[in-house]
């Protein structure tokens, strides 16, 4: 969460990353970037998350994909942080729970491409 920073300044800092999410609300600015992007100067930073990309593009008529994924992980006590784009969803889990998440995905028939990076 970045409560007082300038959005355009943050955008300049993160725009070269292969993946980023920049969200501004009336209460905060929230940024999701790979750990290689340094945002320590702005505010609180959390590390040690792994991101799983739901293979897309996903048609808007498809219902319940993110719900299914989040329920599978919640049943195993794995919390998530989800980001959705026009084409697909991204699910981040704490690094300590990655193996459990991957095992859960596989048991539920969700294909995991383990060498996918961005």
pLDDT digits (tens, 9 = 90+) for 12-61: 889 899 899 999 888 888 889 888 888 777 667 788 899 998 887 777 77
Measured between its terminal Cα atoms, the distance across the chain in Å is 22
Query: Tell me, what's the pLDDT at 78?
Result: 97
26, with CB counted inside 10 A (0-12, 13-18, 19+), is exposed
Domains recognised in the chain with CATH numbers: 1-45 (no CATH), 48-118 (3.30.2130.10)
Query: Tell me, what's the pLDDT at 81?
Result: 93
Which is higher by pLDDT, 71 or 88?
71
Q: Kindly tell me if the per-residue pLDDT of 100 is higher than 80.
A: yes
pLDDT digits (tens, 9 = 90+) for 102-111: 999 999 988 8
Decide: 37 and 60 in contact? Cβ < 8 Å. Answer: no
Which pTM does this prediction carry?
Answer: 0.80
Query: Tell me, what's the pLDDT at 8?
Result: 85
């Amino acid at each position: 969460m970045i409560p007082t920073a300038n959005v355009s300044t943050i955008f300049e800092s993160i725009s070269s990353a292969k993946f980023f999410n920049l969200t501004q609300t009336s209460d905060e600015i929230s940024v999701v970037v790979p750990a290689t992007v340094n945002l320590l100067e702005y505010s609180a930073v959390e590390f040690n998350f792994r991101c799983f990309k739901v293979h897309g593009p996903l048609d808007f008529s498809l219902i319940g994909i993110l719900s299914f994924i989040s329920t599978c992980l919640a049943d195993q006590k794995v919390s998530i942080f989800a980001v959705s784009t026009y084409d697909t969803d991204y699910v981040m889990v704490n690094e300590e729970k990655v193996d459990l998440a991957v095992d859960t995905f596989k048991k539920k028939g969700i294909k995991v491409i383990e060498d996918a990076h961005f």
